[in-house]
Amino acid sequence: MVGHRIERTEDDIIKEAMHEMPYGIYVIGTTAEGRPNAMIADWVMQVSFSPRLVMVAFERDSSSLGRVRAHGYFTVNLLNQEGNGMALAAKFVQPSNPVKVKGRTGDASVRPPVDKLAGINTHPSERAPGCPILDDALAYLECQAEQILEVGDHVVVVGRVLYGEVQHSGEPLTSTYTGWSYSG
Ligand SMILES: Cc1cc2nc3c(=O)[nH]c(=O)nc-3n(C[C@H](O)[C@H](O)[C@H](O)COP(=O)(O)O)c2cc1C
């Protein structure tokens, strides 16, 4: 029997290289019209010392981006490897809108948004008014959106860091630790 060799395309090769990029695992807290939300994000980084700025790349159709556009603030929660960090992260690996999950159609379109924060201990940020801070986060930042940039298939929000604090000791949760990939 003649075996078939599956050829990798150049795109497969690039994707494999980009999968090697390590990321932190962050939970972005947002709110609008009194309805807070939290989404997991890898694409978060500091981009300026003075002023202190961070950027987050949002999927165009994420409800979190809608909240940032409407309200202008967000929190960045850095999860902890210790304790329940991994279980906590797992609670956020879905969009709040069930229709956004690939392959879900029909019934999903009439399902109400998922409340990812149900049963999770949070307190509302003062400086990023109402945006959730996770009580178990290793550290958090409170940010005000300064620039919103359309970039490829994501939207980059550059936020000024108004305040931030380490809440617990431990090691930060990373994509290397979880094995989850959001790249390529
Ligand atoms: C490990 C992981 C990393 C993710 N990183 C990002 C990210 O950097 N930006 C983003 O917009 N969505 C990211 N997502 C997807 C969102 O968490 C989520 O599916 C959705 O887009 C947010 O929807 P919501 O704002 O309506 O809750 C990631 C998902 C996973 C599982």
- Is the Cβ atom of 58 under 6 angstroms away from ligand 1? yes
Start-to-end CA distance of the chain, whole Å, equals: 35
H-state helical runs in 41-119? 63-71, 85-90
The pLDDT score that the predictor gives to residue 17 is 96
Long-range pairs of 13-19 with CB within 8 A, sequence gap ≥ 24: 14/184, 15/184, 16/184, 18/183, 18/184, 19/181, 19/183, 19/184
Q: Is the pLDDT assigned to residue 108 strictly greater than 80?
A: no
75 neighbors 133 (Cβ within 8 angstroms): yes
pTM given for the model: 0.92
Separation of alpha carbons 147 and 124, rounded Å: 23
The pLDDT score that the predictor gives to residue 5 is 81
- Protein residue with its CA nearest to atom 10 in ligand 1: 58
DSSP 17-30: HHHT---B-EEEEE
Residues forming a β-bridge with 41 = 26
Provide the token pair at 102. 């690939």
Mutate to test the pocket of ligand 1, among 37, 56, 58, 59 (most ligand atoms within 8 A of CB): 59
Summarised one tens digit per residue, pLDDT across range 73-100 is 999 999 999 998 999 999 998 778 776 6
| Weakest-pLDDT range from 43-47, 83-87, 129-133, 144-148 | 83-87
Summarised one tens digit per residue, pLDDT across range 55-73 is 999 999 999 999 999 999 9
- CB count in 10 Å sphere of residue 1: 3
For the chain, which domains are there? 13-174 (2.30.110.10)
Mutate to test the pocket of ligand 1, among 39, 44, 148 (most ligand atoms within 8 A of CB): 39
